[in-house]
Chains A and B, each alone.
Chain A
Amino acid sequence: MSQVHYLETPLTDEDIMNLKAGDIVYLSGTIFTARDAAHKRLVDLIENKEELPFPLQGAVIYFVGPTPPKPGEPIGSAGPTTSYRMDSYSPTLIKYGLKGMIGKGKRNQAVKDACKEYKAVYFGATGGAGALLGKLIKDAKVIAYEELGPEAIRMLKVENFPVTVINDAYGNDLYEEGRKQYEVKD
């Protein structure tokens, strides 16, 4: 049965091991945004042994490219983007301390294996629910790569941000299991 958890970032190994695919998690605290171009730069920094723009230990990265904020608002609409484009970068980030990723859509085997080996999870947020999810972001600040526009790295403060565990640290995959349950075979 699916469980509900309320978690604060940064996430610990213990937090991760309590999560199973299909669980609902309400995340609060600081999370960081990064998409394709930002991921490439983060991995380049790691390879060159340079300092990252935010601490990776226990961190949660949200794959999102928000709309520009209207005056007086911290951020515009901010739903998840499709995650597979980050597949080639995520295992390296997980190896160096990343604990959670928020996106939508399938991940490859290398990402799932890294989640198992280094204790991390992949969360799904509801794609297209940008208006709803943007409202749950209380503060947003660009902390790196401003020139990338919607792809810049932002530090976000969130409160009870709703996500579902898709890939847990035990090798389970909600996309595969959920689909099997409802598939109609001839």
Chain B
Amino acid sequence: MREIHYDDIVSAVKNMVIHTATNLPEDALNKLKEAHEKEKSPVAKKVLEQLLENAEIARDEKRPLCQDTGLAVYFVKVGQDVRIVGGLLKDAINEGTEKGYIEGYLRASTCDCFTRENLKDKIGYNLPAVIHIDLVEGDKIDIEYAAKGGGSENVSRARVLAPAQGREGVIDFVKSVISEAGPNPCPPIIVGVGIGGTFEKAAISSKHALFREAGQPNPDPEVAEFEKELLYELNKLGIGAMGMGGTETVLAVHVEKNPCHIASLPVSVNVQCHSSRHSHITL
């Protein structure tokens, strides 16, 4: 049984949170460069130029890419042969998150749902993190992290379709969500689609799909084909960078498909803004 100490998790998470806030990952950066080359609208092209310049400034001067430094979302895979010593895994991730937000000068954005009071003095900076834990084989801990901003999260939607609506129904739903969202989620965007399972399984899948390297197709060729079709359909909407009109609205569509109940067809769309801040570490 391999032992991993609580403090090592705290410090790895803290470093990851700080690094992710200022460094746009290679996959997102490459997709933005591609969009900049392909974009036909001069106004949208100018916006994409600003985004590339922004990424450079953020990296060189260690400034957060966006003032919305997000809520911290984690997908964690824990090997069955790992024993965590010195404290609980969730506490370690939360403590690392809090330290990262404070030491990295990141914005504390959590508040009470109803009073809207900022909670930083009560339970800490940007806590609690949203943590999904899965038990897997092996003796490692694998942590995927994303700083998820509010603007893009706000336009995300889930719905349970009738089975008869089928594949076409899913396409129509995804199109309606992105069309309605328009400029609000800071396009160009990455679209995560979770299909099947139950209501919450579809939603979690749509979020997990955003953690994939931008543009990397689903390993199932049939689903990969569906991703291509959706990408084509969504870019026809003409929304463009920051909604000012253009040909490049969606950088990538990632779909995760799960078997579902014979009576249901759950589908969820989770949107990621162009500032696709995500990281991955293995302990």
Contacts and interface: CB of A to CB of B under 8 A. Distances in A.
Interface of A: 2, 22, 36-37, 64-70, 76-79, 81-82, 84, 104-106, 124, 126-132, 134-135, 148-151, 162, 164, 174-175, 177-186
B53 to A, nearest CB: 6
Interface stretch (B159-167, B182-190, B216-224, B254-262): B182-190
Given A67-B106, A104-B151, A149-B120, A182 B240 contact: yes
A181 B51 CA distance: 23
Nearest to B57: A131
Given A67-B64, A77-B63, A181-B245, A105 B182 contact: yes
B30 interface: no
A66 B240 contact: no
Contacts of B40: 182
A66 B107 contact: yes
B47 interface: yes
B244 interface: yes
Given A128-B273, A131-B57, A182-B247, 5 more contacts: A126-B47, A128-B65, A132-B50, A178-B243, A179-B243
B240 to A, nearest CB: 6
Contacts of A68: 105-107
A135 B57 CA distance: 9
B66 interface: yes
B116 A132 contact: no
Main secondary structure of the interface of B (DSSP, over half): loop
Contact of B182 (A37, A69, A179): A179
B58 interface: yes
A174 B244 contact: yes
Contacts of A79: 66-68
A149 B118 contact: yes
Contacts of A69: 105
A126 B151 contact: no
A104 B238 contact: no
B186 A104 contact: yes
A143 to B, nearest CB: 19
A166 B47 CA distance: 14
B131 interface: no
B43 interface: yes
Contacts of A78: 67
Given A36-B116, A178-B240, A77 B43 contact: no
A185 B47 CA distance: 25
B116 A129 contact: no
Given A67-B105, A68-B105, A178-B245, A106 B182 contact: yes
A3 to B, nearest CB: 13
A121 to B, nearest CB: 15
Contact of A175 (B120, B151, B244): B244
12 contacts: A36-B116, A65-B109, A77-B67, A104-B242, A105-B184, A124-B242, A124-B243, A130-B65, A135-B57, A179-B182, A180-B238, A182-B245
B105 A130 contact: no
Nearest to A177: B245
B236 interface: yes
B50 A126 contact: yes
B177 to A, nearest CB: 15
Interface string B157-196: 0000000000000000000000000111010000000000
